[in-house]
Chain A
């Protein structure tokens, strides 16, 4: 029984990490029909700048982790905003060119990070209490896992507040449905594009710190491998649906953990792909996506 709880909490923590990356991707694709392959590199950029900032601060590990998270969020948000303004906007309406430029950019950023800091894993400042465990229903759970789950839920809450309670959130929801009609109501939808890129970038930057907690170190290529799962989460959840992404992220994280433990290591990734195939067959628009 206790192992089930360990796997469940670990799976949900991993799901939180996927969600932070997937939520931005989902909104960006839903609103702008842009497949942002640079999103994994935006995540890695935040993770590295966060690590770099934390290395320049002295103090308890908890403080340094908070510094890393904040610096990572800002760095990723700024990078994402610049990507939208300088690379995506001039290529508006040219989907293939946008895909190519984001793929190229992701390679360039990973190369840049490797060039500056090398490819060795960079150890993240993880406070001792996050690594230590406490017993829940007989299971030893590291506190860091709970932190990941709570951060994931908090970000979900903030995204929903933004989407449901602010004018720009309303514009984003309307734009996901019918972008042309939003402009035909006199709204400059491009501002919403930049905003969505920036918010998605901030979430990805925060994911950098969570990845530091989960893997205890980050590498330049980490973003690319996480991006694959984030894309799977976006498709399973339904393009443009943040709640769908959250749900799908939890499911993907859980499936991966349980399959890895009960079948064999590596089967988790395979199971996720099978899950994706099953969802696409039964419900092509995703769990909470709008049918087209």
Chain B
């Protein structure tokens, strides 16, 4: 048995997932002269949740922004085999990449209904029924200004925005950040259901949520991929979790 050795050389890189929905190859980001991403490469599986983990400031959010074209970057980003790194952000979204940013970024001055209407796109009818089934709270708050909602409700608006249209992949950045434990459970449950129909690349600090949702985990450290493998194996190895994420499994709150 060479179990521990596997953990010592866990970076498998592209090719680790069969027919990935998203493949990053040597993606680099430089902001104001400092290198944030030093050429990262990984695959996102075509089903389920892939977690993107790491301590604060290692480049997780930057990676998502780079995929969305919201930052200047080099390297290649391919969605289901087609390069999207040359496209403008709105074109990337139109290709079927839904983005739920850190801190929700709902339009505070617009109503919930207006926030959702902005997200309608594509030929098919927007799927309000599905959204309201998942988040019944939103139906009664359509006329309310999104800025007056609680953090959890804003997160529901942010998730609802990517569920109205057809997407091939969702990028979700810290959806449980700053939420009360009960709301974390609700959001995790919603994500679990969402991930049954569309693959998700999830940035998340709450390892309880990660353990429940993710099959696959990629860990970044200082702008580099330092682990790429099975999520259960990673979270089951206390020493490895401690070393890569700086937290013990028990440290995360449990949903």
Q: Are B90 and A189 in contact (CB under 8 A)?
A: yes
A183-B88, A184-B68 given as contacts; is B121 within 8 A of A177 (CB)? Answer: no
Among A76-96, those with CB < 8 Å from B are none
- Interface: A140 (CB within 8 A): no
Among A181-231, those with CB < 8 Å from B are 181-189
Closest to A290 in B: B109
Q: Which of A177, A178, A185, A188 contacts B119 (CB 8 A)?
A: A185
Docked Cα-Cα span, A183 to B88, in Å, equals 9
Question: Which B residues lie within 8 Å of A182 (CB)?
Answer: 118
Least Cβ–Cβ distance between B31 and chain A, in angstroms: 14
Please tell me which stretch of A110-118, A166-174, A251-259 contacts chain B, meaning at least 4 of its Cβ atoms lie within 8 angstroms of it: A166-174
- Interface: A277 (CB within 8 A): no
Least Cβ–Cβ distance between B156 and chain A, in angstroms: 16
Among A151-173, those with CB < 8 Å from B are 167, 170-171, 173
Q: Mark B132-167, 1 if CB is under 8 A from A, else 0.
A: 000000000000000000000000000001000100
Q: Are A171 and B107 in contact (CB under 8 A)?
A: no
Question: Which A residues lie within 8 Å of B88 (CB)?
Answer: 183, 188
- Interface: B230 (CB within 8 A): no
Least Cβ–Cβ distance between B46 and chain A, in angstroms: 21
Docked Cα-Cα span, A167 to B117, in Å, equals 9
Q: Which of B89, B99, B107, B117 contacts A177 (CB 8 A)?
A: B107
- Interface: A180 (CB within 8 A): yes
Question: Which B residues lie within 8 Å of A178 (CB)?
Answer: 105, 107
Docked Cα-Cα span, A167 to B161, in Å, equals 16
Interface size in chain A (residues, C-beta < 8 A):
18
Docked Cα-Cα span, A170 to B70, in Å, equals 22
Q: Are A174 and B93 in contact (CB under 8 A)?
A: no
- Interface: B94 (CB within 8 A): yes
Among A109-155, those with CB < 8 Å from B are none
Q: Are A170 and B89 in contact (CB under 8 A)?
A: no
Question: Which B residues lie within 8 Å of A180 (CB)?
Answer: 70, 89
Q: What secondary structure prevails in chain A residues at the interface with B?
A: helix
A180-B70, A187-B90 given as contacts; is B109 within 8 A of A170 (CB)? Answer: no
Docked Cα-Cα span, A188 to B68, in Å, equals 14
Q: Are A177 and B93 in contact (CB under 8 A)?
A: no
Question: Which B residues lie within 8 Å of A183 (CB)?
Answer: 70, 88-90, 93
Q: Are A185 and B118 in contact (CB under 8 A)?
A: yes
Q: Are A185 and B105 in contact (CB under 8 A)?
A: no
Question: Which B residues lie within 8 Å of A177 (CB)?
Answer: 107-110
Least Cβ–Cβ distance between A117 and chain B, in angstroms: 42
Docked Cα-Cα span, A177 to B118, in Å, equals 13
- Interface: B192 (CB within 8 A): no
A170-B114, A170-B117, A171-B118 given as contacts; is B89 within 8 A of A184 (CB)? Answer: yes
Least Cβ–Cβ distance between A41 and chain B, in angstroms: 31
Q: Are B105 and A170 in contact (CB under 8 A)?
A: no
Docked Cα-Cα span, A5 to B234, in Å, equals 79
- Interface: B175 (CB within 8 A): no
Question: Which A residues lie within 8 Å of B94 (CB)?
Answer: 186
Q: Which of A174, A184, A188 contacts B99 (CB 8 A)?
A: A184
* Among A167, A177, A290: residue with most chain B CB under 10 A: A177
Question: Which B residues lie within 8 Å of A189 (CB)?
Answer: 90
Closest to B164 in A: A185
Question: Which A residues lie within 8 Å of B165 (CB)?
Answer: 186
Q: Are A174 and B110 in contact (CB under 8 A)?
A: yes
Q: Are B70 and A186 in contact (CB under 8 A)?
A: no
Question: Which A residues lie within 8 Å of B99 (CB)?
Answer: 184
Question: Which B residues lie within 8 Å of A174 (CB)?
Answer: 107, 110, 114, 118
Q: Are B110 and A170 in contact (CB under 8 A)?
A: yes
Least Cβ–Cβ distance between B104 and chain A, in angstroms: 10
A180-B70, A181-B101 given as contacts; is B109 within 8 A of A187 (CB)? Answer: no
Q: Nearest 9 A-B pairs (CB), nearest first?
A: A186-B93, A183-B89, A184-B99, A186-B121, A174-B107, A183-B90, A181-B105, A188-B90, A186-B94
6 new A-B pairs (CB below 8 Å) besides A185-B119, A188-B88, A189-B90? A171-B118, A174-B107, A178-B105, A183-B70, A183-B88, A185-B161
